[in-house]
Chain A
Amino acid sequence: MKDVIPIQTNNTETIAVSKNSKNIYQQAIDTFSNFCRARSLFVLHYCTGCGAIELPPAMTSRFDMERLGIQPMVTPRQADILLITGYVSIKTLKRVILTYEQMQGPKYVIGICSCTVNGGMYWQSYATAKVLSEYLPVDMYIAGCMPRPEAVLTGLQQLMKKIEKGEANSWENYFKRYDYYLGNQQHLFGDTWHTPTDILEEARHYHLYGAESTGNNTARLIKYTVEHDLTKLDAPLREKDSMTKRGKK
């Protein structure tokens, strides 16, 4: 426990949201919902590397994560926390981003192990991504090779405190600064990189669409999707669906 310490990320700059406009009842409800949210966290552990081996003891009876209200979840759509437990190869990073984009906000990312901080012992490898927070907004890093379950739990408790205070808002950055994250992703994966999720539309839905949401990189993505007609990918399915419905009538 003394050897390793949970480290908070410096990637916490958030663009000011007009919170003061809320009245006292709204604030009370927000405080209550943050309190509840911090005590019921579902973890999707994306076990990319060796750090995953510290999670079974953290979850089971020895350290017992569930006494803090944290329990494993099997699908990204129902999970609050994405745990990245170790080195992320470039192939894996694509899958991690796909998974992350499927999660519903508010969502939190924790990078466990030194590998997610700066590449760790694979810093020299051509095949691994180095700084995870360049591609996803990371709420917290837990450094160590590997961090012990005590460190993992301390990190999770710090995240709980941040959520309770309403400070764990890094996930909003993904919508507010989508151009930055997309640019870094395109740098690794090439200009044809695209995901099924329409992030800009979601940003509008969450009222997080801002000046930095779009830029050169999103323009490249939009050009690619329009050229390849990706926006109409699910159109035939929808048509078929409506036809069967009509047939039933």
Chain B
Amino acid sequence: MVWDQDKEATKDNYASQTIVLDQILHELDTLNIEQKNNQRFRVDVSAEALPALLSLLKGRAGYTQLSAISCVDWEDEFELVYHLWSYETKVLVSAHIRIQYTPAVYVSVYDIYTPAGFFERDIYEMYGVYFEGSPMMEKFILTEWHGPAPMLKSFDTLKYVNDMFNWQEYQPDWLKEIQAKGGKVVS
């Protein structure tokens, strides 16, 4: 019984959530909202309007957690996706923006969500997208890497590897000796 009541309550939440989101999102132009399912919304927004959208979602709709910022390299522009989670309604909102490729600069949302600092640092390291106002933009994992941003599509990993490294022979004589003794090789 309790379980059913909870379910009903959650359904109501979803319904009210849609209304709240609609109200908030109407305050911003240049925005497209798409409901994927009960718990997922995709919002496409212009890059200028994103900080306002995040403030509204955090301050007025209870989206207190920024789960992640992901970055996509579309070769002519970057796409940044801000994943926001509400613990009250259990709804995930993904806010998508596009920014220009060169120079790849965007504003930090550290002042709205503090965890953004880490995500932005990571994206700067892997994609070279600089976030103005982020507290720390130094190397995070690739502290001893001096090449180009490795996750960019323009960075040819295979060519880099072939230039940089040698390979061992896969069918050397000693392998045949082991096979002659009864060892098996999985090809």
CB distance from B33 to the nearest CB of A (A): 39
CB-based nearest A residue for B179 = A5
Q: Is the CB of B174 within 8 A of A10?
A: yes
Which residues of chain B are within 8 angstroms of A91 by Cβ–Cβ distance? 143-144
A224 on the interface (CB 8 Å rule)? no
Task: Indicate the size class of the contact surface on chain B.
Answer: 20 to 34
CB-based nearest B residue for A132 = B168
A21 on the interface (CB 8 Å rule)? no
Q: Given A7-B174, A91-B143, A126 and B150 touching (CB < 8 A)?
A: yes
Which residues of chain A are within 8 angstroms of B172 by Cβ–Cβ distance? 10
Q: Given A91-B144, A125-B157, A130 and B166 touching (CB < 8 A)?
A: yes
Which residues of chain B are within 8 angstroms of A133 by Cβ–Cβ distance? 168
B165 on the interface (CB 8 Å rule)? yes
- Roughly how many angstroms separate A130 CA and B168 CA in the complex, as a whole number? 9
CB-based nearest A residue for B184 = A2
Which residues of chain A are within 8 angstroms of B164 by Cβ–Cβ distance? 126, 187-188
0 or 1 for each of A107-148: is its CB under 8 Å from B? (1 = yes): 000000000011100011111011101100000000000000
Query: Which residues 134-152 of B sit at the A interface, judged by CB distance below 8 A?
Result: 142-145, 147, 150
From B147, B161, B166, A125 is in contact (CB under 8 Å) with B161
From A3, A119, A129, A187, B184 is in contact (CB under 8 Å) with A3
0 or 1 for each of B159-187: is its CB under 8 Å from A? (1 = yes): 01100111111101111001000011110
CB distance from A20 to the nearest CB of B (A): 27
Which residues of chain B are within 8 angstroms of A187 by Cβ–Cβ distance? 164
- Roughly how many angstroms separate A3 CA and B183 CA in the complex, as a whole number? 9
Q: Is the CB of A5 within 8 A of B161?
A: no
Which residues of chain A are within 8 angstroms of B147 by Cβ–Cβ distance? 126
B2 on the interface (CB 8 Å rule)? no
B1 on the interface (CB 8 Å rule)? no
Q: Is the CB of B168 within 8 A of A131?
A: yes
Q: Is the CB of B184 within 8 A of A5?
A: yes
Q: Is the CB of A3 within 8 A of B157?
A: no
Q: Is the CB of A130 within 8 A of B184?
A: no
Which residues of chain B are within 8 angstroms of A52 by Cβ–Cβ distance? none
A90 on the interface (CB 8 Å rule)? yes
- Roughly how many angstroms separate A83 CA and B113 CA in the complex, as a whole number? 43
- Roughly how many angstroms separate A130 CA and B92 CA in the complex, as a whole number? 41
- Roughly how many angstroms separate A3 CA and B184 CA in the complex, as a whole number? 7
CB-based nearest B residue for A145 = B186
- Roughly how many angstroms separate A90 CA and B178 CA in the complex, as a whole number? 31
CB-based nearest A residue for B143 = A91
Q: Is the CB of B167 within 8 A of A131?
A: yes
- Roughly how many angstroms separate A189 CA and B166 CA in the complex, as a whole number? 15
From B160, B166, B169, B183, A134 is in contact (CB under 8 Å) with B166
Q: Given A3-B186, A5-B183, A126-B150, A117 and B168 touching (CB < 8 A)?
A: yes
Q: Is the CB of A5 within 8 A of B143?
A: no
Query: Which residues 160-189 of A sit at the B interface, judged by CB distance below 8 A?
Result: 187-189
CB distance from B92 to the nearest CB of A (A): 31
- Roughly how many angstroms separate A5 CA and B147 CA in the complex, as a whole number? 37
CB distance from B116 to the nearest CB of A (A): 25
Q: Given A118-B167, A131-B165, A131-B166, A7 and B175 touching (CB < 8 A)?
A: yes
In the assembled complex, 6 residue pairs joining A and B whose CB atoms fall closer than 8 Å, in A order, are A7-B174, A117-B168, A118-B167, A126-B150, A131-B165, A133-B168
Counting from the closest, the 5 A-B pairs by CB-CB distance are A5-B183, A130-B165, A118-B168, A131-B168, A126-B160
Binding site for B on A (CB under 8 A): 2-5, 7-8, 10, 90-91, 94, 117-119, 123-127, 129-131, 133-134, 187-189
Kindly list 12 other residue pairs between chains A and B, CB separation below 8 angstroms, not including A5-B184, A125-B161, A131-B165: A5-B178, A8-B174, A91-B143, A91-B144, A94-B144, A117-B168, A119-B165, A123-B161, A126-B160, A127-B145, A133-B168, A187-B164
